[in-house]
Amino acid sequence: MSASFTKIRWLAAGVALLAVSLLLFGAMSEAKNRELGEADPDLAKQILETLLQVPGNKAGYRTVHAKGIVCQGTFTPSRDAASLSKAAHFQGASTQVIIRFSDGAADPFIPDSSPGAGPRGMAIRFNLPGGEVTDIVALSHNGFVVSSGEEFLALQKAVVATDPSKPHPWPIEEFLGAHPLALKFVQENAVIPASFANEPFFSNNAFIFVNKDGVKQAGRYKILPVAGQRHLSDAEAKTRPANFLIDDLKKRLATEPIKFRLVAQLPNAGDPTNDSSLVWPDDRKTIDAGVISVTSVVPDSDTVEKGLAFDPMNLTDGIEPSDDPLPPLRCRVYALAVKYRRQK
C-alpha cells in the first residue's frame, strides 16, 4: 500500500466518527431515544469503546474532531428555499447561527497541516424562533467512508488491531483492500485545505424536506465556499504552522465575513438515500437554499465548544429523517461519547 501506516491509521480511523462527524454531540432525551429505537444501542456502545482505543484520544476531549474553533454568523435563505421546506429558517428572514469548524482527528493537538487531520468538519446550529434549534453536521468529503454502522465498527477494529511491527498485510490494509470506497475516502482526505474558507462540506446523509403544501423531497446538503475550493501542495503544506487553519480563520474574520452557499442536491429516481457512501452524480438537480455568513469567532471559543452539542437528528418541522440508517446510530454514539467525556 502506497500510504504509510501512520497516514492510514489517522485517516481511516481517527477521522471518521459517523459523519462523524464531527464534534461532540448532546445526550438525547428519552423521547428521542424512543424515536431512534431502530438504532442498535449495543452497536453504538461497541463503536465508542473501539474508538476510545484509537491512538490520539485524550480524556476530556471529543472522541473525534477534537480540535476546532467556534464561530457565529447568520443564514439568509434564498427565494427558492421555501419551495423546498417549510422549516422556519427557510422562510425569508435571516437566522442566527453557531458554527464549529474542526480537524477530523481524535488528537486535539494534531497539526492542521498533517495528512491525518482530515476530513475537516463543519457543524451548524440554526437558532430558530421560540428557542428551537436545528443542526447540520457535515464533512469535507463527498461520500462517507462506509455504508453501515457494522462496517464502521469493522474499520475501527482493523485500525486498533494493526501493529506496524507485524508483517504485512495489516488488518487495516486488508479492510481497505476489501472496501474500495473506504480506501478512496482515506486517500482523498490526505489533502490540506488552504483555509476553512476554501473547503466545501457535505452532509452525506439524506434527509426529507417537506414544504407548506406537504410535498416531500429527499436531498443532501452541500455547503460550498463562495471563495472557491483550494488545497495546498505538499510543499506549501510543509511551510504552514501547526494551527494555521484556525489562525487564518481569525485573520480573515477580522476584516470581512466568510461565506458559504447552502445547497440541497436532489436525487434522480434510483439514486440511493440509504447509503451515504454512494455519491450522487454532479448532474443532479440542486436548489440554492441560501447563504451562510460566518462573521466572527465567539469569545472564549475553547469554553463555548465544551458545552456545544450538535446532533444530525436535531431536526425541525419541515425536515425529516430519510431511510439512511446512520444518523440514528450516530446519535446514540454521540450521546455515549458526551457522557464519557463529561466524566473525565
Residues that are catalytic: 65
**In the beta sheet, which residues pair with residue 139?**
121, 202
Rounded-to-10 torsion of CA 276, 280, 285, 286: 40
Torsion region of 256: left, alpha or beta (phi above 0 gives left; psi -120 to 50 gives alpha): beta
Q: How far apart are CA 191 and CA 90, in angstroms?
A: 33
User: Rounded to whole angstroms, what are the CA distances from 185 to 16, 145, 182, 250, 330?
Assistant: 10, 6, 5, 29, 19
Contact in structure between 266 and 287 (CB atoms under 8 Å): yes
In this structure, what is the dihedral angle of CA atoms 155, 156, 162, 163, given to the nearest 10 degrees? 160
Burial of 188 (C-beta count, 10 Å sphere; 0-12/13-18/19+)? middle
Q: Which of 102, 30, 69, 16 is nearest to 330 (CA)?
A: 16
**Cβ distance 139 to 330 under 8 Å?**
no
Q: Show the cell assigned to 94.
A: 435571516
